[in-house]
Amino acid sequence: MMTPKERILEKTFVLFHRQGYNATGINQIIEEAKVAKASFYQHFKSKEDLCVAFLKERHLFWFEALLKFTADEKNTKLKILASFDFLIFMNGNENFRGCSFLNILSEIQSDNVKLLTVIQSHKKDLRTYFRDILNDTLLSDHVYLLFESSIIESQMFKSNELIEQSKKIIQNLIL
């Protein structure tokens, strides 16, 4: 049996990712998680605090899935290509919903340091992921930028075409 906090986070995970931050109200989360309003506020002081918890959960979920998806690849180029295949996999599982972090970034005020810091941390970890694989800062940043643009383009056009194009570019980038 899940605790009220776990139920809140589970519903938030689905709703924030599917509907977005601004379109999801606390009352909807409370209702769908089947918790009392007092219980919600016992665990989260605000919607912003809930969003921080969501982003941290999403970060763990996403990186665990990425690492598991690419774990069998030992060759550098194949590991990078598998990372892009992971985007195709996620697009299939999540109906081209894109990056929760970038989606929320587009919904918050630019001075929301609390959420911005968590979003930036996720993106720094992704840059580090590529840097650790490639051991070349310029090349890894190039791959990171291809990866990020692939996420945005695939979400916008509901297509994996530019992910596949990025993979072709990577074939020439990484020797």
pLDDT at 87 over 90: yes
For position 17, what pLDDT does the model report?
84
Q: What digits encode the pLDDT tens for the residues 15-69?
A: 998 899 999 999 999 999 999 999 999 999 999 999 999 999 999 999 999 999 9
* Stretch 122-135: mean pLDDT: 98
For position 44, what pLDDT does the model report?
96
Residue from 150, 149, 174, 144 nearest 163 by CA: 150
CATH superfamily of 1-44: Homeodomain-like (1.10.10.60)
Neighbours of 8 (CB within 10 A): 25
User: Which pTM was predicted?
Assistant: 0.93
d(CA 163, CA 146): 8
Residue 47, helix vs strand vs coil: helix
Q: What digits encode the pLDDT tens for the residues 136-171?
A: 999 999 999 999 999 999 999 999 999 999 999 999
Residue bearing tokens 């990577």:
170
User: Any idea where the domains of the chain sit in the sequence?
Assistant: 1-44, 55-173
d(CA 63, CA 65): 5
CATH superfamily of 55-173: Tetracycline Repressor, domain 2 (1.10.357.10)
Q: Could you give the percent of the chain with pLDDT greater than 70?
A: 100
Q: How confident is the model at residue 126 (pLDDT cuts 50, 70, 90)?
A: very high
Mean pLDDT, the chain, rounded, equals 96
Domains 1-44 and 55-173 share a fold: no
For position 175, what pLDDT does the model report?
82
d(CA 68, CA 84): 13
Structure tokens at 40: 């919600």
Contact 16, 52 (CB under 8 A): no
Spell 96-115 as b/e; 16+ CB within 10 A means b.
ebbbbbbbbbeebeeeeeeb
